[in-house]
Structure 1
Amino acid sequence: MTKKTAIALALLAAVAGGSAVAASPDYPPRKPGLWEMNMAQPDDPQAKPHVVQQCIDARTDAAMREMGQGMSRDACSKQDTRKEGGKIVVDSVCKMGATTLTSHAEISGDFGSSYRMESNTVYDPPLAGRAKGTAIVEAKWLGPCRANQKPGDVIMPDGRTMNFMDMQSMPKKK
Structure 2
Amino acid sequence: MRPVYAAAALAALVAPALAAGFNLPPRAPGQWEMKVQVDTAAMPPQIIRMCLDAETDKLLNAKFAGAASRLCSRQEQKTEGDALVLESDCAIGEMKTFSRSVVTGDFNSAYVMRTDVRMEGSNAPEGVQRTTPAGPSSQQTTIEAKRVGECAEGFKPGDMDFGLGRVVNLRDMPDPNIN
Q: Secondary structure at the match of 1:115?
A: strand
Which residue, out of 50, 54, 59, partners 1:54? 50
Change (3 A) 1:32 1:152: same
Which residue, out of 94, 100, 110, partners 1:98? 94
- Report percent identity of matched pairs: 31
**Which amino acid is 1:138 matched to?**
E
Aligned partners of 1:137 and 1:8: how far apart in 2? Answer: 14
**Which amino acid is 2:8 matched to?**
A
More displaced, 32-41 or 129-138?
Answer: 129-138
**Which amino acid is 2:146 matched to?**
K
Aligned partners of 1:121 and 1:113: how far apart in 2? Answer: 26
Q: Secondary structure at the match of 2:151?
A: coil
Which residue, out of 23, 29, 33, partners 1:32? 29
Change (3 A) 1:124 1:101: same
Paired residues of 1:16 and 1:67 also in contact (CA < 8 A): no
* Structure 1 residue 21: Cα displacement: 4.9
Which residue, out of 80, 84, 87, partners 2:83? 87
The 5-angstrom pairing of residues 91-130 of structure 1 reads 91-125=87-121
Question: Which segments of structure 1 move beyond 6 Å, counting only runs of 4 or more?
Answer: none
Q: Which has the larger radius of gyration?
A: 2
Change (3 A) 1:17 1:43: closer
The runs of 5 or more residues in structure 2 that have no matched partner are 125-131
* Alignment partner of 1:133 is 2:101: no
Aligned partners of 1:19 and 1:124: how far apart in 2? Answer: 21
The runs of 5 or more residues in structure 1 that have no matched partner are none
* Structure 1 residue 12: Cα displacement: 2.4
* Structure 1 residue 123: Cα displacement: 0.8
Q: TM-score, normalised by structure 1?
A: 0.83
Which residue, out of 4, 8, 19, partners 1:10? 8
* Structure 1 residue 23: Cα displacement: 4.2
* Alignment partner of 1:70 is 2:76: no
Per the alignment, residue 168 of structure 2 pairs with 162
